[in-house]
Amino acid sequence: QQQVKQSPQSLIVQKGGISIINCAYENTAFDYFPWYQQFPGKGPALLIAIRPDVSEKKEGRFTISFNKSAKQFSLHIMDSQPGDSATYFCAASRMNTGFQKLVFGTGTRLLVSP
């Protein structure tokens, strides 16, 4: 049972375009939603995260939109650059368990063409 569903599996975007990756979760006890970025041969690294008390969080070109009622959240990459080409994972966790268990989505491989 996939607790966090992620789509699309892969995405090709032209340089300067907007990349959008979507995730949906089932467990309403989740209250921490990070996005991790992974380059080939490297481990995932935290990109941006949101908690359900806000509907949007922006850091530079990266924005998380959060819809609590729909149990969905998405990552938007504005002005996508070739250096953004990587695999992106959404995840979910619970603050009251000390964030001990991160549940990951299946990943989206993003390719930004020059």
Residues that bind other proteins (CB under 8 A): 4, 6, 9, 32, 34, 41-46, 49, 89, 93, 95, 98-107
Q: Based on CB atoms, which residue is closest to other proteins, 11 or 17?
A: 11
Nearest to 77 by CA among 30, 37, 33: 37
CB of 16 to other proteins, least distance (A): 29
CB of 28 to other proteins, least distance (A): 18
Question: Can you tell me the distance from the alpha carbon of 81 to that of 68, in angstroms, rounded to the nearest whole number?
Answer: 30
Cβ atoms 103, 92 nearer than 8 A? yes
Tally of helices (H runs) and strands (E runs) in the chain: 0, 11
Q: Based on CB atoms, which residue is closest to other proteins, 42 or 68?
A: 42
Q: Based on CB atoms, which residue is closest to other proteins, 11 or 49?
A: 49
